[in-house]
Chains A and B, each alone.
Chain A
């Protein structure tokens, strides 16, 4: 099932590579990926993801992403997740439609 994840990430060397690597390694394929321009030392990445098998759990992935030192926030959608990628990209700009998946680490 396709689902969305929004991540606020610090502008640090390797941060994006680390994020993408973790998502792939933990059993999800990235169907679409949108990275907004940097602002105040961080940027927002929105991904639509497909789990490779039924055992993969998006809540667990969100907590694993939140463990990354460069991640400032992890959010899951407050709307129907099976939407087209272009809508996902638009949704990234509407913070009120996302809920925090786990508390910030720092």
Chain B
């Protein structure tokens, strides 16, 4: 976000328009004018009592307000927009239940380091702390899941504080910033001016040359290095640097769920996702490595499995834009906090001789490649997802929900860029897919945005079909229906002695009929032979469309690392 212009707030064109109908300017007008001046064009929200002054001020604004049908969806849609643009998404809700409904979306943005501005109405200042109607302390409740939060108590400071919130949200390691707005502050007469400049957030200083030299020396001693890529690469704008590093060194690479798409999908030395549902080639390479170069990853338990047996023979070089991640879970021989592109460029590989190791990894990758020749005539979801992403091409953007389908997407879809894979990685929030798909399709109407969801997940935010319909959003919904909570069922099958408890969704509605009721084109896919035509119809649709795909409830996600086990002990079909 660029610095605010040093100008009077009334200088904006929309303010002049508004002045024709009303002359009195309030804190709420200052909120709207500030968002306009900061270049915001779209906000996702839902009105209510305490935030009503802002909705009043929206009239005549250049801001496009997207009325969702649940505040959680506003946060998820703003999140998707932010992931695609790198700029903070904005969502808006009232106090009390409006604010609490946002919390899951805020936590989602926090755990995946997504820049977001959350504007919440609050009861008037004099009533705060009195258990007033629709009063909750969202400032306090959200503290563990925001990068920062503020309560604006002086309407004259609205432009300055909102501008700073954007800088915080987008600077350094991005994250959500909550701005709580008491109603009396929004209603107060206010003619603030914009501050003349901005205070950019400093990143960590560059690591000393000696540390880079040590990293180079460690690499030179290595016979079996592996590059372990995480979401921090995208956040640090270092995708090209990682691809260059891979090409220059030939080091085999694996990726976390958030790191998918960082390596070029056609790179021979890219071994795929590691971890709980990672491929054998990736997990074995890490297990056998003698040097793990962790790049923008955080040793998350879904990636490492049992931490004390993760890469047991490896020394660690940990590169991250956030110094607080170094040594958090695994001690690094060398921790390099700073700009990832600069750091990778500073590690040379003149003495690296790993041809045999590279060949072993590549051979293993081919030997353990996923197979798509499942028996029977029913739809095999992994094959359908692979075909979908290949037919859609480099413009394919997946907005995943959470469950088996999320893991199948990670395993089988091809991503040309990491930001094209929208997934609730850290929080694992069912219900993310549809609103995220709506936010993504509004942001990138030129792309092929596909929400990939399940029969459990879609019911968490199915009301957003109304939002897709209202705005004619070109989101394509691929609903994989196994009439159960599949991932829970899989775990109950293998780790709870087949005690299938509360996972049966036999009484799901006919989802195509549900979509029709919302005014959305929809159809049902029953068999494998229908898949090519279904993909073609989905991708050619101009407006929202839903494909309801019936799949075998017994289908599982493979491989699977059992809970508490080492990645090397993965179960396979």
Contact = CB atoms under 8 A, between A and B. Distances in A.
Interface of A: 13-14, 17-18, 21, 25, 57, 59-60, 63-64, 66-67, 69, 102-103, 105-106
A14 B324 contact: no
Given A21-B144, A57-B327, A105 B149 contact: no
Nearest to A68: B148
Contacts of B149: 14
B318 to A, nearest CB: 12
A11 to B, nearest CB: 14
Given A67-B322, A69-B148, A18 B328 contact: no
A13 B151 CA distance: 8
B147 to A, nearest CB: 8
Given A69-B147, A103-B205, A105-B202, 8 more contacts: A13-B139, A13-B150, A21-B143, A60-B324, A63-B324, A63-B326, A66-B324, A69-B148
A102 B335 CA distance: 14
A102 B148 CA distance: 20
A59 B201 CA distance: 22
Interface residues of B, number: 24
Contacts of A57: 327-328
A66 B173 CA distance: 13
Contact of A106 (B148, B173, B202): B202
A18 B143 contact: yes
B468 to A, nearest CB: 37
Interface in B86-117: none
Contacts of B140: 14, 17
B199 interface: yes
Given A105-B201, A106-B199, A106-B202, A25 B324 contact: no
Interface in B189-220: 199, 201-202, 204-205
17 contacts: A13-B150, A14-B143, A14-B149, A14-B151, A17-B143, A18-B143, A21-B143, A21-B144, A60-B324, A60-B326, A64-B324, A66-B323, A66-B324, A69-B147, A105-B172, A105-B202, A106-B199
B327 A14 contact: no
B168 interface: yes
Contacts of A25: 144
Contact of A14 (B139, B202, B205): B139
B327 A60 contact: yes
Nearest to B140: A17
Contacts of A103: 204-205
A57 B331 CA distance: 10
Nearest to A18: B143
A66 B204 CA distance: 11
A25 B110 CA distance: 15
Contacts of B199: 106
B324 A67 contact: yes
Nearest to A57: B327
A85 B231 CA distance: 41
Nearest to A65: B324
B323 A102 contact: yes
Interface in B216-257: none
Nearest 4 pairs of A and B residues by beta carbon: A63-B324, A69-B148, A64-B324, A60-B328
Given A13-B150, A13-B151, A14-B149, A59 B202 contact: no
A72 B185 CA distance: 29
Most A CB contacts (10 A, CB to CB) among B148, B153, B168, B201 go to B148
A13 B153 CA distance: 10
A13 B326 CA distance: 30
Contacts of B139: 13-14
Contacts of A14: 139-140, 143, 149, 151
A63 B149 CA distance: 19
A21 B147 CA distance: 13
Given A13-B151, A105-B201, A59 B327 contact: yes
B151 to A, nearest CB: 6
B157 to A, nearest CB: 12
Contacts of B322: 67
A55 to B, nearest CB: 8
